[in-house]
Amino acid sequence: MELLDGKRIADQIKVEIASEVETIKRNGGTPPHLVAILVGHDGASETYVGHKEKACAQVGFKSQVLRFEDSITEVQLLEKIQKLNNNPDVDGFIVQMPLPKHIDEQKVIEAIDPKKDVDGFHPVNVGRMNIGLPAYVSATPDGIVELIRRYNIPTAGKHCVVLGRSNIVGRPIANLLSQKGYPGDCTVTICHSRTPNLKEFTTTADILIVALGKAEFVTAEMVKEGAVVIDVGITRVEAPGTKLGWKLLGDVKFNEVASKCSYITPVPGGVGPLTIVSLLKNTLKAAKKEVYG
């Protein structure tokens, strides 16, 4: 069993990005500029946006977090988005999800100019990604692909089973791994909450990607010997007696599954750090106008 060390790969890629930023600056250009909108005070969102801000600083990007209270109206938020769309100083921006219930997330996503949509959530980017055109690919699936690539994990002809059909992870990763080339050429099965006999599918997976958001859902008996297991889940659970009072759990029961795997991601330190780095990659692409010219 080998651990897929997302933290290590993320640090490596950050060094590569930082060197590109240096080149841009040396040639008289301005560093990429990312803006994140954060609504409310959700603990996990605060952490993730904090990681994004820190990563920008590490690679030499300009970054800014625009914070708003839960009470912001949809109209007000859409106005902020228009301003960012029209601000030539901003290369890309994101609106951290989830949003308060009174705001329609899909409306917000569609208000973002696809050229600045470094989250890759806008239907134009999703559509372009789906047919293999240059696009901003959403950060978590892109991070998974990058992890597979950096560890040279073979994918051609492999059976990849994806648990979860969300717009931001399950669907796009299933699409990417079924596309031609490397990492890809997989036979992909998408399973979800209405799939009967889940175990029948998961035990045939050479590559098992779990993105359900259900802590420790995948047990050893669900995994084939020698499988590659990628755990996208990240749930905070109470942990009395620890310093923080809580800890993070993945969707996979790591302790009993790990010994069966050829490769497995830890939580934390697996997919999460790659998600951050993929956002940086998209922002760099935006600054270089690589996707839309």
Q: Is 52 a catalytic residue?
A: yes
Tokens 């399973």 sit on residue:
191
Residue 3 phi, psi dihedral angles, 5° rounding: -80, 130
Minimum separation from the CB atom of position 3 to ligand L34 (A): 13
Minimum separation from the CB atom of position 271 to ligand L34 (A): 6
Minimum separation from the CB atom of position 200 to ligand L34 (A): 30
Question: Cβ–Cβ contacts within 10 Å for residue 277, how many?
Answer: 25
240's CB contacts (< 8 A; 6+ apart) are: none
Report CA-CA distances (Å) from 271 to 4, 26, 139: 9, 32, 10
In whole angstroms, give the CA distance from residue 193 to residue 197: 11
* From 5, 117, 119, 231, residue interacting with ligand L34 (rule: CB under 6 A): 119
Q: Is 82 a catalytic residue?
A: no
Residue 37 or residue 174: which is nearer to ligand L34 going by CB? Answer: 37
What b-and-e string marks burial along 44-54, b requiring 16 or more CB atoms within 10 Å of the CB?
ebeebbeebbe
Asked if 275 touches ligand L34 (CB under 6 A), the answer is yes
Q: Is 158 a catalytic residue?
A: no
Asked if 202 touches ligand L34 (CB under 6 A), the answer is no
Span near ligand L34 by CB under 6 A; candidates 16-24, 56-64, 126-134, 266-274: 266-274
Asked if 96 touches ligand L34 (CB under 6 A), the answer is yes
Interaction residues for ligand L34, span 76-95 (CB under 6 A): 94-95
Closest CA to 248 of 212, 211, 216: 216
Which one of 119, 142, 206, 251 is the catalytic residue? 119
Using alpha carbons only, how large is the chain's radius of gyration in Å? 19
Which one of 14, 96, 142, 285 is the catalytic residue? 96
- Cα atoms found within 13 Å of the Cα of residue 126, Cβ hemisphere only: 15
Residue 173 or residue 186: which is nearer to ligand L34 going by CB? Answer: 173
- Cα atoms found within 13 Å of the Cα of residue 145, Cβ hemisphere only: 23
* From 3, 78, 97, 258, residue interacting with ligand L34 (rule: CB under 6 A): 97
Residue 31 or residue 272: which is nearer to ligand L34 going by CB? Answer: 272
Asked if 272 touches ligand L34 (CB under 6 A), the answer is yes
Minimum separation from the CB atom of position 27 to ligand L34 (A): 30
Torsion of Cα atoms, 41 then 44 then 49 then 51, to 10°? 140
Residues within the interface to ligand L34 (CB under 6 A)? 47-48, 51, 94-97, 119, 139, 234, 248, 267-269, 272-273, 275-276
Catalytic residues: 52, 96, 119
